[in-house]
Structure 1
Amino acid sequence: MTSQMVLSIGSDALTLLLMVAMPVLGAVMAVGLVVSIFQAITQIHEATLAFVPKLVAAVTVFAVIGPWMITTLVDYIRRTIESIPTVIG
């Protein structure tokens, strides 16, 4: 196993991580921004008002995009496991 192979595997893993995490992080961040603006306008600073919408947004994104996330991760793991003989030998 060369250093180039290690860097390639690591780069692919980080790219996949960002690709899979971005929809959830983007939705939660957008909802958090909207809730923060709402709290600033109304001067209501309730902790559950910030937490519950973020939780609902995350669950909704997981429900909608979850199957794509799982198939993407399974494909990457399958490719990684199948490449073990070429990496070792």
Structure 2
Amino acid sequence: MNQQKPFGDREMMEDVLSSQKFVTEGYNTFANECASPAVMSELMNILNEEHQIQHEVFDEMVKRGWYQTEPAPQKKIDQCKQQHAQG
């Protein structure tokens, strides 16, 4: 019989982060396509809250060593700045 590995803290955090990314995509699309300024404002508030939750989960995963990031080389940072400054 095939035994599955228990769903631990790391797997739960990965699932939460993935879910938050999905949720923010949805709210972003809704806000972009909203015709009502009042509704759009509320969607933007919710989107901001969801991004904050996503960032908190991300930070916790980084602290626990479960999400590795590499610093961008200065050359790539400079290229990105130059590209966006040209508009």
| TM-score category, normalised to shorter length | 0.3 to 0.5
Q: Which has the higher helix share?
A: 1
Q: TM-score, normalised by structure 1?
A: 0.37
Higher Cα radius of gyration: 1
Higher relative contact order, structure no. (Cα contacts within 8 Å, ≥ 6 residues apart): 1
